[in-house]
Structure formats: C-alpha cells, structure tokens
Amino acid sequence: MSYQVLARKWRPKSFESLVGQDAVVRALTHALDANRLHHAYLLTGTRGVGKTTIARILAKALNCEQGVSSKPCGVCSACQQIDAGRFVDYIEMDAASNRGVDEMVQLLEQATFLPSVGRYKVYMIDEVHQLTAHAFNAMLKTLEEPPAHVKFILATTDPQKILVTVLSRCLQFNLRQVSPPQLSSHLEHVLAGEGIAPDIKALELIARAAGGSVRDALSLLDQAIAHGGGTVQADQVSQMLGTSNISRMLGVLSALVQGDVTAVREQTSQMAAGALSFESALDDLSRLAVSLQLMQFDASDGAQEFSSLAEDDAIQLRHLSAQCSRTYAQLIYQVATKARGDLRLAPDAAHGFLMAMLRLLAIHPGHASVAQPKMAAVVNLTSTPAEPQAIKPAQHDTPRKETPQPGVPAATPNVSAPAEVKQQSAATDISAESWPQLVDRLGLKGMARELAQHSAFLSFSEGLITLNLPATHRQLLMPASEQRVTQALSELLGTAIRVRFDVVEQVGVTAAVLKKEAAEERQNNAVAAIESDPLVQELIDVFDAKLIDGSIRPVTG
C-alpha cells in the first residue's frame, strides 16, 4: 500500500476530532441538531486551519443516510463517498485554480436542479473572493433566491475582498489559527496513532513553525519522520527547520543579563555555523523575555507555558528573572522584536542578530557607561554562570551611591543614597567626589556654570579653592565667569573665599569627568527608557517616526 501523507490520513472526519475550532464547531453542531440551517456559510481563516475539512463534515452531516445531525455516521455510502471526494452532490470548487470559467458557471447554474442522490446539493467554493465576475453573478443569483435543497459553503483567506452583497447573505465563521500547544498535542496524538514515540520538544518546534496551520504541522511532521528515519527527535527537527531552540536562546539571554559579550559572540557564531534561522532565534528571545517578565511579576505558571519551557529551562529562567531588572526585560523584548524586522536590512542575518545583542549589552542598565576595565571584569566573572556572585546590577550600583540618579528606573532600589547626600550637603564638605553635586547647588547659569562644570576640584586651604580646568576648555576662563563662581561658592560656604583656576593638560579623574559619566549614564538610561516605551515604539512602528538625536533629556531634580 502506498504511503498516505499524514495531513490526508489524519484529516478529521467528524466535528469532535477537529482541532482548535471549538467555537465554530459548537455553533454548527447546535444549528444541525436544532435543525436551524442557514443556506450559506462563509468560513474565513488562513490556510490549513480546516476550512475544507469543515465543509466536508458539514456535507456529511447534511447528507448522511442516517439523517441530518451533527454526528454523521461515517459508514453509509454518502458519508464514505464524501470522505473519498466522489459524492455527486458535494461539489468542491477552487476559485483560485485555473478551472474553466464556463465550467464553473455551468456548475453553479445547475444548482437549481434537485440533488441526484443526496438530500442537499452542497457547494464548497474555496477562495471565493477570486471568482470571475461572470461566475460570481451566477452564484449571487442562486444566493438571492436559494432553492431549499442547496447549501453554499464559501471559504476565503481574505474576507476583506468579499462583496457586502455576499456577506449579507452568509452566516460567517472565523476560523482561528491553531495555537502551538493545541498543535503540539494534536501531533502527539497523531504520532501515537502511527506508533512512533513522541519527543515533546521536537513536536513543540514543529508546532511553532507551522504558524497555526494543522495541515502545515502535519506536513512538517511527515518530513521530520522521513528525516529522522522513522523517529522524531528535537535536534533533527531543529536542524531540518533551521530553527533555534529555546535552550540555546536561554544561553543567549543569560549572557545578555550578565553582560557577557564573549558568550554572545560564541552563540552567534555557532548559530551561523549551524545555518539556524536568526528570525526564529529573535522570536524565541522575545518569548523568553515575556516569560521572564511574567516571572518577575509572579505569574510563573503562565510564563512557563508561554515559552513551552522544560522544567530545567524554567528553573534557569527563574534564576535569570531575579538577576535582570524589569526595565531590562522590557528592553530585551523591544530590541529583539525590532531587530527581527530589521534583519532584512542587515548585511547578513548573523550580523543583524549580533548587532542587536551588542545593542542590548550597550544599553544594559548595569553597563551603560562602564569603561573598559570594568567590562573585562564582567566577562571574567560570568565565565561561571551558576555562581550567585554573577548578580551584576548590585555590584555596579555600589560606586553609584554617591551620585544618585533621579529619573533612572533603578534596577535595584538604592534607598541609602538620598540620605547620604543630604548629610553631605549639610556639612558642605568640598572634595573631588562631592564637587559635581556642589556645582549643581551653586545655582550658576550660562558661562559661569559651564566653567564650574568643566573644572575639577584640586584643593581647598586657607580660604583658597584651587580648581583645574582642562586646556581644551581654556576659553571658558573669563573674569566675569570667574567672579560669579567665586561669589556663588562664597555664598554656599558662608564665608568669603578666593578661587584660582589652573589650566592643565590632563585633568585625570575629575569632578567634570565623573559628572559627564553620570550624565552619560543618565542619558543612556533615559534613551533606553524612551526607546523601550511601548507608545514610542508604536509611533516608530506605525508612523515610521524617528527619535531625534539629542532630543531625549533625562528627568533631573
């Protein structure tokens, strides 16, 4: 016996065995059992969700020799002939095919004649929006004054193109895309029937790749069985589909959260070498970001289900959810979904993917303005991902305590910082570290403010404050500005002081530099926050809006 493809072999023959269309099945079952039948139905939905299957079951339900019911017997000659596609009173037409227009018109015109063997003449017209005008008029004529023995089942993937004159005469049902979990469990059922041991991870990969279509899922399963020589296994399926798998992307996510640029590069190279799809990798990363965020909001059950995580993967993700800030989870999602659309613009998919990951590392709240040596430390630390010390954000927060950053969605709330600053300001001690805050409190404006900001504190003794000004900012040195700085400092300290500016080549680690770094970090965080804002994203996506460089300012004060 020749091999029959699964999609055909497992085509549901009854409403009960139909996958994922409960609402439609309920409505049709009810109508059939209550004998409240409409003369025309319109089934809408993407390919492979069951439009033709429903039409055939409906044709059997109407023509079964046991009588009209929602449960056709399946064994009488009418049922069997419809299943085999040989029933004379069930006419399937595909308006998208090249079938002769004349033939079609003729078939439709014959609708007025009584059925030859059945109770009803059932017309199934697929892709009905593509009917020629001539054929369409023939159908419309019948639709307007339908003979009692005719039923129309119209189907389309594009309901927008159906004329309102047709819509108004049909009972419309929207078939849904079948969800991956539903598909996956259907595939499991099919494999059991085929006597093949199911590998759940493999089935999940197929289910996701099928894009909501039962037919596509079964075709892929066919291929997977052929590919695996009679078995179905996750790595083979992953290879066949060219898709990433969730465990690998979990590794990428972990590297992102921990700021591990080396690991990100390695994963990218491996994916490129395995010719895996970077699109599906970004999809998986987006899914993981959603699950991660759900876990952060204590909705763990849904989180695991959403990414179809295995137990050990779920444990790892929960671990990560504790290390990653909520804002960063948002950023990962935003960047991953955006990057997916940008892949086609990239020189190649691997570079597009890598750049998106580097972008995520660059805007990591813990690393935003991290200088080179610190980055090295990050990479070293994360070579052992299981170590609890890999919880980075807390470590990076430590040096920031002296420069609190208003407006920054802090990864870990830094409760002690404001208290420290208050204490400091009460005593008004001047030091290289306190200088940036002090400058802010001087209330200076214009050039005088510029001068103070670009100066570094050197010393304060015997009423003389010495400040270093980098030679690059020499032009700020003007008597009026100097005088205003002196006056403001005197007022703040409550005593008359003198100020001397020393112009130097290198200012080293100075107040100005510290301040600039803090500002950069605030800026980066502000940019990240704006970019991750769903409304902003929507404006960008929908209206092709652009963020104007330099227009984002962190909230201060």
d(CA 59, CA 83): 10
Contact window for Zn ion (CB under 5 A) among 59-67, 172-180, 248-256, 381-389: 59-67
Q: Which stretch binds Zn ion (CB under 5 A): 78-86, 87-95, 394-402, 424-432?
A: 78-86
The DSSP symbol for 71 reads S
Measured in residues, the chain has a length of 557
Angle between helix axes 246-257 and 311-323 (nearest 10 degrees) is: 20
Region from 63-71, 187-195, 268-276, 446-454 binding Zn ion, contact rule CB under 5 A = 63-71
Under the criterion CB under 5 A, does residue 73 sit at the interface with Zn ion?
A: yes
- Contact at 8 Å (CB) between 49 and 19? no
Residue 82 C-beta: closest distance to Zn ion, Å? 9
Task: Give the type of residue at 471.
Answer: A
Minimum separation from the CB atom of position 296 to Zn ion (A): 55
CA distance 7 to 217: 8
4-33 residues in contact with Zn ion (CB under 5 A) are: none
Stretch near Zn ion under the rule CB under 5 A, chosen from 57-65, 225-233, 317-325, 482-490:
57-65
Give the Cα-Cα-Cα angle 77, 80, 84 (nearest 5 degrees).
Answer: 130
Per the CB < 8 A criterion, the answer to whether 307 and 292 are in contact is: no
Q: Say how far residue 294 (Cα) sits from the centre of its chain.
A: 14
By C-beta, is 73 or 504 nearer to Zn ion?
73
Tokens representing 246 are 């969730």
CA distance 156 to 162: 8
Q: Closest approach of Cβ 121 to Zn ion, in Å?
A: 17
The nearer residue to Zn ion, 72 or 180, going by C-beta atoms, is: 72
C-beta of 83 vs 397, nearer to Zn ion: 83
Among 53, 97, 61, 91, residue whose Cα is nearest residue 79: 61
What residue type is assigned to position 192 of the chain?
Answer: A
Cβ at position 20, least distance to Zn ion in Å: 25
Q: How far is the CB of 76 from Zn ion (least distance, A)?
A: 3
Among 28, 64, 203, 207, binds Zn ion (CB under 5 A): 64
At 113, the amino acid letter reads F
Those residues whose C-beta lies under 8 Å from the C-beta of residue 512, and which sit 6 or more positions away, are 436, 453, 454, 455, 456, 470
First-residue to last-residue Cα distance in the chain: 80
How many CB atoms sit inside 10 A of residue 82's CB? 29
Residue 68 is a binding residue for Zn ion (CB under 5 A): no
State the minimum distance, in angstroms, from the CB of residue 14 to Zn ion: 11
Amino acid at 22: D
Cβ closest to Zn ion, residue 64 vs residue 456: 64
> Nearer to Zn ion by C-beta: 15 or 136?
15
Contacts of 409 (CB under 8 A, 6+ apart): 325, 326, 327, 365, 525, 529
**Contacting residues for 437 by C-beta, under 8 A, at least 6 apart:** 403, 421, 424, 425
* Piece of 56-64, 174-182, 455-463, 479-487 that binds Zn ion (CB under 5 A): 56-64
Q: Which amino acid is at 464?
A: L
Among 27, 31, 68, 76, which residue interacts with Zn ion (rule: CB under 5 A)?
76
The nearer residue to Zn ion, 76 or 430, going by C-beta atoms, is 76
**Which region among 48-56, 72-80, 91-99, 522-530 touches Zn ion (by CB under 5 A)?**
72-80
Token duo for residue 80: 């069997």
Q: Both tokens of residue 266?
A: 């390695």
- Residue 52 CB, nearest approach to Zn ion (Å): 19
Q: Spell out where 313-400 has E strands.
A: none
Task: Determine the interface stretch with Zn ion among 67-75, 413-421, 500-508, 533-541 (rule: CB under 5 A).
Answer: 67-75
Core vs surface per residue 183-210: b (16+ CB within 10 A) or e: bbbbbeebbeeeebebbebbbbbbbbbb
Cβ at position 37, least distance to Zn ion in Å: 17
Q: How many residues bind Zn ion (CB under 5 A)?
A: 5
543 membership: H or E segment, kind and range: helix 534-543
| Per-position b or e across 321-332, b if 16+ CB within 10 A of its CB | bebbbebbbbbb
Residue-wise over 107-141: b if at least 16 C-beta within 10 A, else e? bbeebeeebeebbbbbbbbbbbbbbeeebbebbee
346 binds Zn ion (CB under 5 A): no
Comparison of 80 and 369: residue with beta carbon closer to Zn ion: 80
- The least distance separating Zn ion from the CB of residue 79, rounded to whole angstroms, comes to 3
Task: Considering the complex, state which of residue 48 and residue 72 has its C-beta at the smaller distance from Zn ion.
Answer: 72
User: Which residue in the set 18, 25, 43, 79 belongs to the binding site for Zn ion (CB under 5 A)?
Assistant: 79
Q: How far is the CB of 90 from Zn ion (least distance, A)?
A: 13
Smallest separation (angstroms) from Zn ion to the CB of 87 = 11
In the complex, what is the shortest distance from the CB of residue 12 to Zn ion, in angstroms, rounded to a whole number?
15
> Counting runs of H as helices and runs of E as strands, what totals does the chain give?
26, 8
Q: Which is nearer to Zn ion, 5 or 88 (CB)?
A: 88
- Of 72 and 554, which CB lies nearer to Zn ion in the complex structure? 72
Q: Which is nearer to Zn ion, 13 or 400 (CB)?
A: 13
> Minimum distance from CB of 229 to Zn ion (Å)?
39
Which of these segments, 74-82, 141-149, 162-170, 329-337, binds Zn ion (CB under 5 A)?
74-82
Structure tokens of 230? 């009679």
Query: Nearest-CA neighbor of 456 among 422, 486, 398, 500?
Result: 500
> Toward Zn ion, which CB reaches closer, 124 or 349?
124
Nearer of residues 64 and 381 to Zn ion, judged by Cβ: 64
Segment lying near Zn ion (by CB under 5 A), choices 32-40, 71-79, 129-137, 277-285: 71-79
Which is nearer to Zn ion, 57 or 294 (by Cβ)? 57
Q: Interface with Zn ion by CB under 5 A: which residues?
A: 64, 72-73, 76, 79
